[in-house]
């Protein structure tokens, strides 16, 4: 399967996690990993599957590297029908009112342009006991399995 990992990060944690997920998936798939600030919304490919990893910044906003992507999406208003994605959020429950809102906003943005989210948005709590990888690796494997089924149905 052709998988593109896109990450939105403020401090680099989402980038490191995305690269770890890439390493986990590369044995069975072709996996590209890109910063959202370097990804053109016109480059979405309906034959690929997108895994997104996004942190939250400030008052529940998108992190710095995801903000140019969101602006480009608003300007381009792409038709993302037929595009499938799954999303993983990084956050800290110490910030109760804004906990993991960045990944939620990114998911809403993609869906608003017609993309289809596969599976539930999984979030990691930096104040919890789990390592992000402990949640992200099983999430990625499950999302890829769902995508394999969906993309084969569409073919």
Q: Which domain holds residue 81?
A: 2-154
pTM: 0.93
Cβ-Cβ contacts under 8 Å for 23 (sequence gap 6 or more): none
CB 127 within 8 A of CB 14: no
Q: How many domains does the chain have?
A: 1
The enclosing domain of 147 has a CATH number of: 3.40.50.360
3-state secondary structure 6-18: EEECCCCHHHHHH
- The answer to whether 50 and 113 are in contact (CB under 8 A) is no
Tens-digit pLDDT profile for the chain (155 aa)? 899 999 999 999 999 999 999 999 999 999 999 999 999 999 999 999 999 999 998 888 999 999 999 999 999 999 999 999 999 999 888 888 888 899 999 999 999 999 999 999 999 998 899 999 999 999 999 999 999 988 777 66
């Amino acid at each position: 399967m052709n998988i593109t990992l896109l990450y939105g990060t403020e401090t680099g944690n989402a980038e490191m996690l995305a690269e770890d997920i890439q390493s986990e998936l590369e044995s069975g798939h072709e996996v590209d990993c890109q910063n959202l600030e370097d990804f053109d919304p016109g480059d979405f490919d309906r034959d690929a599957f997108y895994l997104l990893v996004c942190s939250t910044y400030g008052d529940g906003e998108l992190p710095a590297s995801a903000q140019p992507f969101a602006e480009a999406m608003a300007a381009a208003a792409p038709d993302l029908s037929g595009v499938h994605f799954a999303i993983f959020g990084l956050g800290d429950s110490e910030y109760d009112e804004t906990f993991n809102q960045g990944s939620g906003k990114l998911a809403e943005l993609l869906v608003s342009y017609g993309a289809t989210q596969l599976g539930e948005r999984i979030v990691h709590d930096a104040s919890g006991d789990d390592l992000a990888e402990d949640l992200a690796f099983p999430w990625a494997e499950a999302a890829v399995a769902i995508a394999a089924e969906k993309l084969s149905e569409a073919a």
